[in-house]
Amino acid sequence: MEPLQAGDPRQVGAYRLVGRLGGGGMGQVYLGLSPGGRQVAVKVVRPDFAQSDSEYRTRFAREVEAARRVGGLHTAPVVDADPGGNPPWMVTAYIPGPSLAAVVASIGPLTLEAATALGAALAEGLAAIHACGLVHRDLKPANIIMADDGPRIIDFGIARPMGEAPLTTPGTLIGTYAFMSPEQVATDAATPVSDVFALGCVLVLAATGHPPFAGSTAPAIMHRILHDQPDLGEIPGSPFRAVVMECLSKDPSRRPRAADLIARLSPGLDAAASVAHGNVPAMPSDRDVIGLEPPTQPPPAEPVAAERHENVSITQHANAQPGSVVIQIAGNAKIGDDDQ
Is the pLDDT at 81 greater than 50? The verdict is: yes
Q: How many CB atoms lie within 10 A of CB 311?
A: 11
Nearest one of 167, 165, 156, 166 to 134, comparing CA atoms: 156
Q: Which of 185-199, 210-224, 260-274, 293-307 has the lowest mean pLDDT?
A: 293-307
b/e map of 108-140 (b: 16 or more CB within 10 Å)?
A: bbbbbbbbbbbbbbbbbbbbbbbebebbbbbbb
Is the pLDDT at 7 greater than 70? The verdict is: yes
Q: Give yes or no: residues 155 and 86 share one domain.
A: no
Q: Does 64 reside within a domain?
A: yes
Question: Which has more confidence, 158 or 115?
Answer: 115
Provide mean pLDDT across the span 224-244.
95
Question: Which has more confidence, 271 or 149?
Answer: 149
Is the pLDDT at 328 greater than 90? The verdict is: no
Tell me the average pLDDT of the chain. 76
Interatomic CA distance for residues 92 and 172, integer angstroms = 29
Q: Give yes or no: residues 18 and 160 share one domain.
A: no
Greatest mean pLDDT range, 27-31, 187-191, 205-209, 335-339: 205-209
Interatomic CA distance for residues 64 and 319, integer angstroms = 30
Q: Does 5 reside within a domain?
A: no
pTM for the full model? 0.72
Q: Which of 41, 59, 93 is the last residue of a domain?
A: 93
Q: Tell me the CATH number at 49.
A: 3.30.200.20
Q: Which of 58, 93, 128 is the last residue of a domain?
A: 93
Is the pLDDT at 256 greater than 80? The verdict is: yes
**Amino acid 63: pLDDT:** 76
Interatomic CA distance for residues 319 and 334, integer angstroms = 32
Provide mean pLDDT across the span 328-334.
38
Is the pLDDT at 308 greater than 90? The verdict is: no
Q: Give yes or no: residues 117 and 171 share one domain.
A: yes
Residue pair 308/104 in contact (Cβ under 8 Å)? The answer is no
Q: Give yes or no: residues 77 and 105 share one domain.
A: no
Q: Does 3 reside within a domain?
A: no
Interatomic CA distance for residues 274 and 72, integer angstroms = 27
**Amino acid 75: pLDDT:** 63
Question: Which has more confidence, 165 or 1?
Answer: 1
Helices 192-208, 239-247: axis angle to 10 degrees equals 140
Is the pLDDT at 91 greater than 80? The verdict is: yes
Q: Where are the beta strands (DSSP E) in the chain?
A: 11-12, 15-23, 27-33, 39-45, 78-82, 89-93, 134-135, 144-147, 150-154, 160-161, 326-328
Residue pair 161/190 in contact (Cβ under 8 Å)? The answer is no
**Amino acid 300: pLDDT:** 47
**Spacing of C-alpha 149 from chain mean position:** 16
Is the pLDDT at 57 greater than 50? The verdict is: yes
Provide mean pLDDT across the span 220-248.
95
Helices 112-131, 258-265: axis angle to 10 degrees equals 150
Q: Which of 38, 62, 93 is the last residue of a domain?
A: 93
Q: Does 193 reside within a domain?
A: yes
Structural domain for 24, as ranges: 11-93
Is the pLDDT at 193 greater than 90? The verdict is: yes
The per-residue pLDDT for range 156-181, each reduced to its tens digit, is 654 444 545 444 444 444 457 899 99
Interatomic CA distance for residues 159 and 67, integer angstroms = 10
Q: Catalytic pick from 48, 82, 138, 251?
A: 138
Interatomic CA distance for residues 119 and 124, integer angstroms = 9
Q: Tell me the CATH number at 261.
A: 1.10.510.10
Is the pLDDT at 13 greater than 50? The verdict is: yes
Residue pair 81/50 in contact (Cβ under 8 Å)? The answer is no
Count how many Cα atoms sit within 13 Å of the Cα of residue 81 in the half-sphere of its side chain: 21
User: Is-catalytic flag, 286?
Assistant: no
* Residue 219 CB partners (closer than 8 Å, separation 6+): none
Is the pLDDT at 315 greater than 80? The verdict is: no
Is the pLDDT at 210 greater than 70? The verdict is: yes
Confidence of residue 73 (pLDDT cuts 50, 70, 90): low
Number of domains in the chain: 2
Question: Which has more confidence, 149 or 21?
Answer: 21
